[in-house]
Structure 1
Amino acid sequence: MQLDDLDFADDLALLSQTQQQMQEKMTSVAAASAAVGLNIHKGKSRIIRYNTACTNPITINGEDLEDVKTSTYLGSIIDEHGGSDADVKARIGKARAAYLQLKNTWNSKQLSTNTK
């Protein structure tokens, strides 16, 4: 099974095999959005290229979209290598920060185990 896009509420991730397919999808999404009165925010739209040498720009209404090496989609970090290392490191860092904020509570002798 091959995914063509990932949709959630007002977030959309388009997936394509070629630059031409991606441009066609962007043009189609922009046209469908405009037809119902919606606009695509070009400043929030990014392109991540995975395993390609093609650097032709992807455009919406004649404006180039930004090429980036990493981006966050629904809280997960996506990178140009397709790996999850950056996302896992970020999540471990968040968990560590949450633990450290509660460390004094966990180690407190004044609070019972049930309260903790």
Structure 2
Amino acid sequence: MRDSVDAKLRDQQAGFRKDRSSTDQIAALRIIVEQSVEWNSSLYINVIDYEKAFDSVDKRTLWKLLQHYGVPEKIVNIIRKSYDGLQCKVMRGGQLTVAFQVRTAVRQGYLLSPSSSGGRLDYEDLDI
């Protein structure tokens, strides 16, 4: 699945990809800043922290994205079934709450979670 997604990502997409370290990205940004100063040109930098971004992923959108990136339908269906009827409980005051259904989010540490080096979805140009 990683190969299917990786093959369709834009080259500029560096987050959570093999052989693209944050050190390399910082070095590239530094070069851009230095050139901007040298050329006396304006530079605007926008940094977005996506730490919680995958906590609110709509599952229907996720299935469409996986299909868009060429993940085989059989794999998409296996993943979909692992999310169907997903319920959670929360520990509150030393007691577990009543179970509730999870309708959004990508499981932490799961293949689709960006923090696990999977799920590197570059969907900027998609209309999904």
TM-score after normalising by structure 1: 0.31
- In terms of fraction of residues, the more strand-rich structure is 1
Q: Which has the higher contact order (CA 8 A, sep 6+)?
A: 2
**Computing the radius of gyration over CA atoms, which structure comes out larger, 1 or 2?**
1
TM-score after normalising by structure 2: 0.28
